[in-house]
Amino acid sequence: MSEFKYEIIKNIGVLSMTNSGWAKEFNLISWNERDPKYDIREWSPDRQKMGKGVTLSKEELRALKELLNNMEM
């Protein structure tokens, strides 16, 4: 498995925390030195481990925002 690099450009916010300290975060991240994308995933307290997540382009984030704005809760 090849290594990959990531840089958290901006921490936008924490969506939730587990009792073990893992945080589900919304961040702007550059993966493998590419243009940053919006990302939602769980991170260990020391940010050395991560869970599976969802990465979105700016256009996909706008589409998601529109869908959420139109959703009934």
CATH code of the domain in which 64 resides: 2.30.31.70
Full-model pTM: 0.88
* Per-residue pLDDT tens digits for 28-64: 999 999 999 999 999 999 999 999 999 999 999 999 9
Structure tokens at 31: 């993966």
72/1: higher pLDDT: 72
Answer whether residue 1 shows pLDDT above 70: no
For the chain, the domain total comes to 1
Answer whether residue 11 shows pLDDT above 90: yes
CA distances from 68 to 25, 28, 47 (A): 18, 19, 29
Q: Are 39 and 29 in contact (CB under 8 A)?
A: yes
pLDDT at 3: 81
Answer whether residue 4 shows pLDDT above 80: yes
Segments forming the whole domain that contains residue 59: 6-69
